[in-house]
Structure 1
Amino acid sequence: MKEELLKAHCNGRLMLFVGAGVSANLGLPDWNTLIGRIAEELDYDPKIFATYGTPLALAEFYKKRMGGLGSLRSWMDREWHNTNTDITKSDIHRLIAQGNFPKIYTTNYDRWLESAHDAFGVKYDKIKSVADLVKLTEGRRQIIKLHGDFDLEESIVLDETSYFKRLNFDTPLDIKLRADVLGSSVLFIGYSLNDINIRLLFYRLTEMWGSSNFATARPKSYVFTSRPNPVAEEVLRHWGIEMIVSEEHDPGKALTDFLQQLTA
């Protein structure tokens, strides 16, 4: 375990970014399942429909045809929040909730992070829109839903239009992100290094630092992965982000073991 990473966590200066890989450990539906559902609602063969465009484009098509997310949002809410799921059995979520992370940013729509905090008695403020920024409690953990939340349909980043708007990085939540990242180390978990979305986020964070007057004082940032990738490692190193690679092949166990070492 990196000494600087441990120190940042111990001192409460480590900001956590949580991706879809964390929710995947709960058995949540993936993009293929979602696109299959969209196809069914629009009376298309799922296999053929999937060839018509990217998931973002297909979700855009659905919204145009249906006039919004409508019944799809309700289906997603049900499928992503299976009542049989016992969040207290997820060591990953327990370790996140009990860790010393003053701010947790997530690109996940689901509420399992919040449920874990509730289950383990950790108080937090959830931020899903600018309206929530004026209701924060001093000293309380913040969970920032960067790609939206099921509680606020218009905040969900699912289709091309909402995603392209998200790429502008000029919303009040982005301004908050820029301020937060200047004072903390950042740890990314649950992300695929091949995902262009997260790579763009890596790049944007680097740009935020580069345009500041304190670039030389930038705290280290880290991304945890269970799969070695020398290409990504070299590129990210130049962006000021250090890869932490586990020797454990099972992604869920790898992340659990890592978080246990970090939060011990």
Structure 2
Amino acid sequence: MKTNKDHFSDLATYMLDNRLALFVGAGFSYNFGYPSWGILLKNIIEKYEIKDKLVQTSLFPFINEDDIDGDEEEVNEVILEKLLGVDYLRLAGYIDSILENDFGKSIHTEVAEVIKSSRMHRKTDGVVKDLASFLSHNKEYLEDIITTNYDDNIEFCLDYNASVIHRDISSINKIEHRNKVYKIHGCASDEIQEPDIIITEKDYNNFIAKNKYLFYKVYSFFTEKKIVFIGYSINDPNIRSILNDVIEENKDKVNLEMYWVTRDKLKDLDRQYYQQHFNLNIIEECEINEFFEELQTNVNTQIDLRSLKGADLAEYVKGYKNNYTKAGFIKDIIDTGKEDEVLKAMFDKVNADEYAYERNLEPYLALISALGAKDFARHKMSLQKLIDSGKKRQLYKIIDYAYKSDDFIDALRNSDMVEDLLGVFLERANGSHEFGDYAKTIEHLLKAFDAFSKEMDVFEEDFLRALQYCIRFSCYNGNRRSGEDYGGLDRLSEYAKLLDEVMLEKLASSMTSMYMGEREFEKVECLIDNSDFSDKEKIPARFKYSYKKYLMENLFDSMRSILKAVTDSKETNYLYTVGDTEILIEIEDEEINLINNQSRVLLYNVKLYATSKKVFIEADEKHEITKLKELMFFPQQIVGWLNEEVEAVIDNLKETQ
């Protein structure tokens, strides 16, 4: 199934070939400050206070108390307010009948006055400026515009250099301009006292009978050109009627190609219905100005591409590199069959000159990613050669493109090239670098993790080792210290959110398994502060992966010095003897216990833990640390609090012996 992107590329081609016609509805004029059809009818109803009469008719699909369990009045009020399920042509006919009989008025005159008033206050800035700019700029490509609108907003956008065709043969005989606007529901011109416009069901039937030529001409556009409907509801009964007539008339004769632009997101079944029954290509979730903007981008791309025809290969490749990011450009390169020549030229350039990658490698990757599996296979060996070369800057560029292109990732996976790429890149990343490259390597390690998260389990150990190594030799930009590369922590700050929680905890744990000094604190802080942890999770995480280990070491060293019984044991439990009494120190996850081994009575407990707001150190009294940095800058003060309490415990212990 084609995407919006594919549709715009096709439409740009049709437009430049003068094979595109616009079919414009009321949604277009709404941008100019004109009322919608429903609002226009409601305003007339309110102006003449005729709602009570209309409510007595069968126009509105009201429900009664038997249809719903309560609240039927509220539901009916919504139906009336929003004109839900109402046939506008039929409603207009009822309004016209009441106006004529009770007020001697005509709905046609009322509508014409609204159109005239709206014209005097027409919006000309913002979105309107964009719409007018598109139509005025592309007049040579849009010769035919069909509309059911009565106003002259389309003529306004065309600088009034268009022939308006409506009502009867006389307007057809007055065609003076290349651009033609077919007003199939009539035109509310200032000069006409009783404008011949379609408002009621009766008008519709009479208009078709009197204007056979106009309708046959409009129907012919469906076979001669590609039609784009803009400014219509997908449920508009008038347009569905026209589509049914066109499809019935051309059954088995020609393959109609029509497009419908809608701001809505369609349900799958709705999309399937309109595609199958009306042969409509749906461009959804797209405002009218967005449609014109994207179409203009694709038209510009097509113009640039067509200007390359006939150029020699060098100029063609240069043109491709200058334009490959434009919508539809790569597709058109492939459609012309030039992709092999262009790819070879760029590969040869990169392969011969290491520094040519900057201008050639990304365009090369963009084009190779757009190839189908069979065509990609023809160029796989060339891409493999670039990877196997192990050139760091080329690897950076390949990782960069994978980070932003799902198509490239899919192409690598389908060709079993991801493990080769990661293996070469991680081997290159896990080693000494020139100053300035540690920062770049950190950035690309994190991008690689994000792009290839599915494959990273296989390379987890190598990834963690390489990232930890690069972070170890990094500092913040402007805070360079001897032996450290400036900017590395800035890159870590920018891309740390790409790590998932599991990998982040593994990295933090590995970074804090060694000695923790001021520099190490800075690096762990940088990782956690810029992670995807919530604010509530960050304080406990900082405590767990940096300050806790630092404090535990200080506390344990303090206890050892007090007990005067140092051992070389590496176990988590430490046994000391004071006189004839054995004291066991147990280091658990969040606390240190001193236990009298003979009686197994807890003599002393030091507990460290953190909440989302504070860190607590508990002994015989509780100390609250509200700012984590206090743990780093005043550890001796904290240890001092505990030393006094530990000494008191030991003194009491000795006195009891």
> Which range, TM-score by smaller chain?
0.7 to 0.9
Could you tell me how far apart the structure 1 residues matched to 2:298 and 2:96 are?
42
Matches within 5 A, 1:223-238: 223-229=260-266, 230-238=268-276
Could you tell me how far apart the structure 2 residues matched to 1:207 and 1:87 are?
42
Q: Relative to 1, partners in 2 of residues 1:117 and 1:165: Cα closer, same or farther, differing over 3 Å? A: same
Residue equivalent to 2:229: 188
Q: Which stretch of the first structure deviates more once superposed, 141-150 or 82-91?
A: 82-91
Q: Relative to 1, partners in 2 of residues 1:32 and 1:185: Cα closer, same or farther, differing over 3 Å? A: closer
Residue equivalent to 1:161: 202
Matched, 1:16 2:9: no
Could you tell me how far apart the structure 1 residues matched to 2:279 and 2:154 are?
27
Could you tell me how far apart the structure 1 residues matched to 2:288 and 2:35 are?
16
C-alpha contact 2:257 2:279 (8 A) present in aligned 1:
yes
Could you tell me how far apart the structure 2 residues matched to 1:219 and 1:36 are?
37
Matched, 1:82 2:120: yes
Selected match of 2:89 from 51, 56, 64: 56
C-alpha contact 2:228 2:261 (8 A) present in aligned 1:
yes
Report SS of the residue matched to 2:180: strand
TM-score normalised according to structure 2 size: 0.35
Report SS of the residue matched to 2:173: helix
Matched, 1:244 2:283: yes
Q: CA deviation at 1:193?
A: 0.4
Q: CA deviation at 1:32?
A: 3.9
C-alpha contact 2:164 2:181 (8 A) present in aligned 1:
yes
Residue equivalent to 1:91: 130
| Amino acid in structure 2 at the alignment position of 1:235 | Y
Structure possessing the higher relative contact order (Cα contacts under 8 Å, 6 or more residues apart):
1
Matched, 1:136 2:175: yes
Residue equivalent to 2:13: 7
Q: CA deviation at 1:87?
A: 6.5
Selected match of 1:68 from 96, 102, 106: 106
Residue equivalent to 1:147: 185
Residue equivalent to 2:40: 34
Could you tell me how far apart the structure 2 residues matched to 1:154 and 1:197 are?
20
Q: CA deviation at 1:49?
A: 5.6
Q: Relative to 1, partners in 2 of residues 1:220 and 1:169: Cα closer, same or farther, differing over 3 Å? A: farther
Q: CA deviation at 1:188?
A: 0.9
Once the two structures are superposed, what CA deviation does each residue of 1:90-114 show, in whole Å capped at 9, x if it has no partner? 3123213333211000011111111
Q: CA RMSD in A?
A: 2.8
Q: CA deviation at 1:34?
A: 1.9
Could you tell me how far apart the structure 1 residues matched to 2:119 and 2:241 are?
29
Residue equivalent to 2:152: 111
Identity of aligned residues (%): 23
Structure 2: gaps (5+ residues): 60-85, 301-657
Q: Relative to 1, partners in 2 of residues 1:15 and 1:262: Cα closer, same or farther, differing over 3 Å? A: farther
Q: CA deviation at 1:6?
A: 1.9
TM-score normalised according to structure 1 size: 0.81
Once the two structures are superposed, what CA deviation does each residue of 1:108-130 show, in whole Å capped at 9, x if it has no partner? 111111111117xxx32110122
Could you tell me how far apart the structure 1 residues matched to 2:42 and 2:265 are?
31
Could you tell me how far apart the structure 2 residues matched to 1:129 and 1:94 are?
29
Once the two structures are superposed, what CA deviation does each residue of 1:193-228 show, in whole Å capped at 9, x if it has no partner? 0222222222222223217xx42xx35211112222
Q: CA deviation at 1:57?
A: 3.1
Once the two structures are superposed, what CA deviation does each residue of 1:123-179 show, in whole Å capped at 9, x if it has no partner? 321101221112224x70110001111025443111121134457797221111122
Could you tell me how far apart the structure 1 residues matched to 2:187 and 2:120 are?
16
Q: CA deviation at 1:41?
A: 4.7
Q: CA deviation at 1:181?
A: 2.3
Q: Relative to 1, partners in 2 of residues 1:127 and 1:175: Cα closer, same or farther, differing over 3 Å? A: same
Could you tell me how far apart the structure 2 residues matched to 1:178 and 1:252 are?
24
Q: Which stretch of the first structure deviates more once superposed, 23-32 or 168-177?
A: 168-177
C-alpha contact 1:42 1:62 (8 A) present in aligned 2:
no
C-alpha contact 1:149 1:155 (8 A) present in aligned 2:
yes
Residue equivalent to 2:258: 221
Could you tell me how far apart the structure 2 residues matched to 1:5 and 1:227 are?
20
Could you tell me how far apart the structure 1 residues matched to 2:26 and 2:122 are?
20
Q: Which stretch of the first structure deviates more once superposed, 92-101 or 163-172?
A: 163-172
Q: Which stretch of the first structure deviates more once superposed, 83-92 or 126-135?
A: 83-92
Q: Which stretch of the first structure deviates more once superposed, 191-200 or 100-109?
A: 191-200
Could you tell me how far apart the structure 1 residues matched to 2:211 and 2:113 are?
30
C-alpha contact 2:23 2:145 (8 A) present in aligned 1:
yes
The alignment covers a number of residue pairs equal to 251
Q: Relative to 1, partners in 2 of residues 1:62 and 1:227: Cα closer, same or farther, differing over 3 Å? A: closer
C-alpha contact 2:145 2:180 (8 A) present in aligned 1:
yes
Once the two structures are superposed, what CA deviation does each residue of 1:38-67 show, in whole Å capped at 9, x if it has no partner? 22453435xx46645344334223433236
C-alpha contact 1:29 1:79 (8 A) present in aligned 2:
no
Q: Relative to 1, partners in 2 of residues 1:69 and 1:263: Cα closer, same or farther, differing over 3 Å? A: farther
Could you tell me how far apart the structure 2 residues matched to 1:234 and 1:85 are?
37
Q: Which of the pair has more CA radius of gyration?
A: 2
- Greater share of helix residues, 1 or 2? 2
C-alpha contact 2:32 2:124 (8 A) present in aligned 1:
no
Could you tell me how far apart the structure 2 residues matched to 1:32 and 1:49 are?
18
C-alpha contact 1:28 1:80 (8 A) present in aligned 2:
yes
Report SS of the residue matched to 1:109: coil
Could you tell me how far apart the structure 2 residues matched to 1:184 and 1:156 are?
26
Matched, 1:101 2:152: no
